[in-house]
Structure 1
């Protein structure tokens, strides 16, 4: 096996597992409708069904930003280790 193919090979690392969880969590939360398909508890007069989904907009933003920062760190580490691996 050549060095170049080893460097470009996909590797499962703990950082990449965390990245995947950050990106999958909002989908799971929104697709599991039974968990938030109710009116109570209300928040400033807004039923749970609506404010829960709006809360996930902000949570998803934070999780996506976290995943992006972890991905950048992982790519920098791989580049410095592998001597210029492509992105």
Structure 2
């Protein structure tokens, strides 16, 4: 867990935030493009493609959101550690 008493004003790297944003855009935009999967075939266990494709996106979206969360929290921890080490708050007496 993060500690709210230490500010996250350390230098931010844009990479993790950009990657997290791209993952979230994929999770949102791909299922919204209905013409790509508005099909009956191929069927999976008798279920039309339209339905099983949408259900497939549930765990995929959960994984993409989880990866985004992990990237952002990892960067947040790195920034908090940078602030602690710069101010000496992480040192023990």
Structure 2, unaligned runs of 5 or more:
1-7, 86-93
User: Is the contact between residue 40 and residue 50 of structure 2 (CA under 8 Å) also seen in structure 1?
Assistant: yes
Q: Deviations over 1:59-83 (max 9, x none)?
A: 0011111111111101001111133
Aligned to 2:40: 39
Number of residue-to-residue matches in the alignment: 78
Q: Which runs of 4+ in 1 moved over 3 A?
A: 7-12
Aligned to 2:80: 79
Matched, 1:60 2:45: no
Root-mean-square deviation over aligned CA pairs? 2.1
Structure 1, unaligned runs of 5 or more:
1-6
Higher-helix-fraction structure: 1
Aligned partners of 1:10 and 1:31: how far apart in 2? Answer: 35
Q: Shift of residue 21 of structure 1?
A: 1.2
| Structure having the higher Rg | 2
How does the TM-score come out when normalised to structure 2?
0.74
Q: Deviations over 1:21-51 (max 9, x none)?
A: 1111121111111111111111111101000
